[in-house]
Chain A
Amino acid sequence: MQQRIKISGLGKTFILYAQGGIRLPVLQGVDLEVVAGNCVALHGPSGAGKSTLLRSLYANYRPQAGSVLIRHQDRWVDMVQAEPREILAVRKVTVGYVSQFLRVIPRINTLDLVIEPLRALGVSDDVARTRAAALLARLRIPERLWAVPPATFSGGEQQRVNLARSFAVGYPILLLDEPTAALDADNRQTVIDLINEAKSAGTAIVGIFHDREVREAVATRVFELRSYEAAA
């Protein structure tokens, strides 16, 4: 299968200057490869660096060592070294990130929020709306809420809007941070289905799934992260 992600020798230490320059090593020498159609579940105790690794894949965090190669169109981009505008291009076209919480933008309604990444890719307004509507419906967001900004939505509703926003695009790579944390059983099953459909379509997925049932239903394999102290 085609390789989509190649991480090698990744190291990330947080230095907290307000706390007297204390150093918190979180990742060291992490190697991971992900091919198209696979879903890798990051696993390990709290503080082992699961979120740090996921955020480094999106270049939200800046590691000090190693490389994060992402297959972007017909070339490899190292997210650790890439220029800002190159990272933005990768995020626009290749890598989608579903955080646990929706960062709402005041006054933008739900449907417009979901079509935004599609419109940025040049998808026509009609096609984008059709695709967004189908996903919102599938994720059980009632149609009367589509014209409302999601600021007042429940945690679960916001999470589903967030999921619709990323799944609508069909990114070649998806990063999922606890995508089912705030969801009921029916919606959890919908998300499992969406993930498995994305895998079948060739999407490479890396995610954090605390729910064992979800993890077993979607993960092609589990990648163990140990806390730094335990590893040392």
Chain B
Amino acid sequence: MTELPLLRVRNLGKRFGQTLACDSVSFDLWPGEVLGVVGESGSGKTTLLNCLSAQLSPSAGTVEYLTRSDGLLDVHRLSEARQRLLMRTDWGVVHQNPRDGLRMGMSAGANVGERLMAVGARHYGDIRGEALSWLDKVEMDRGRIDDPPKVFSGGMQQRLQIARNLVSKPRLVFMDEPTGGLDVSVQARLLDLLRGLVSDLGLAVIVVTHDLGVARLLTHRLMVMQGGRVVEQGLTDQVLDDPQHPYSQLLVASILPV
């Protein structure tokens, strides 16, 4: 039996004019794996994530995704309609700013339900029931189902965004600094929640973060980026406990002790 990865990335590069935002990135991601991408601001983390999730077209290289029916296909060569279908049925994207991932004027229930309807759910009672059960899963008060996210706190908005993304049972989720901009106490709760959901659902996740604590808690593997290149990758505990590259060593040594 030849096993195939869920995502196979080869020599991915993205150029903005003269600037090489990300260069020669290659890796495989397997089902159930959580891959962290760390590095300082401007190292190309978000550009990489956007190229992987087909929000940006790369200048070079391939991003192949293991589709349910047709094996590995280069997502950047799919038709736009097929890309959109993939986004609805197989992928989730959790943005750093919940405003980019939620419909702020629609109710919480509708935000979750919309994703279900996009994959074919039609029965109002079922959709509402599923939305309620997801509010439970992300530890939100059921009584808030009819309130719009614009009246929620940042932490609640982020949990709602996670519910909206996971309700349609994606196989692969992209997250950009999912705990950025939140209080530390809210961060811990969110991380713990994510950790549980990811392992219960067997999700594959690519998470961009500059917080090594988040990486330690959430990810199995890490890629360290500097100047658009991956300078080191390995198991998370290897990279954090025995960093090999000068930049990784600097990054790990810069963690403030509590």
Contact = CB atoms under 8 A, between A and B. Distances in A.
Given A88-B220, A105-B217, A17 B250 contact: yes
Most chain A Cβ neighbours within 10 Å, of B220, B242, B250, B253: B242
A60 B237 contact: yes
A143 to B, nearest CB: 24
A62 B234 CA distance: 10
Contact of A61 (B30, B188, B192, B241): B241
B253 A18 contact: yes
Contact of A18 (B33, B234, B250): B250
Contacts of A16: 249
User: What is the interface residue range for chain A against chain B?
Assistant: 10 to 19
A61 B191 contact: no
B2 to A, nearest CB: 15
Contacts of B191: 106
B249 A17 contact: yes
B192 A107 contact: yes
B235 interface: yes
B246 A60 contact: no
A87 B249 contact: no
Interface string A92-133: 000000000000011110000000000000000000000000
Contacts of B30: 85
Contacts, number: 45
A84 B192 contact: no
B226 to A, nearest CB: 13
Interface string B227-239: 0000000110110
A108 B217 CA distance: 12
A84 B242 contact: no
Interface in B192-206: 192, 195
A62 B246 contact: no
B223 to A, nearest CB: 11
B54 to A, nearest CB: 25
Nearest to B29: A85
B189 interface: yes
Contact of B188 (A18, A62, A88, A107): A107
A59 B242 CA distance: 10
B29 to A, nearest CB: 10
A55 interface: yes
Nearest to A149: B192
Contacts of B188: 106-107
Contact of A85 (B33, B195, B237): B33
B103 to A, nearest CB: 30
Contacts of A88: 220, 235
Contacts of B195: 105
Contacts of B217: 105
B255 to A, nearest CB: 13
A108 B189 CA distance: 10
B220 A84 contact: yes
B242 A61 contact: yes
Nearest to B234: A84
A192 B253 CA distance: 37
A84 B241 contact: no
A107 B185 CA distance: 11
B221 A84 contact: yes
Contacts of A18: 246, 249-250, 253
A87 B235 contact: yes
Interface string A49-77: 00000010001111000000000000000
Nearest to B189: A107
A60 B221 contact: no
Interface of A: 14-18, 55, 59-62, 84-85, 87-88, 105-108
Given A15-B244, A17-B249, A106-B189, 17 more contacts: A17-B246, A18-B249, A18-B250, A55-B241, A55-B242, A59-B238, A60-B237, A61-B241, A61-B242, A62-B238, A62-B242, A62-B244, A85-B33, A105-B217, A107-B188, A107-B192, A108-B192
Interface of B: 30, 33, 188-189, 191-192, 195, 217, 220-221, 234-235, 237-238, 241-242, 244, 246, 249-250, 253
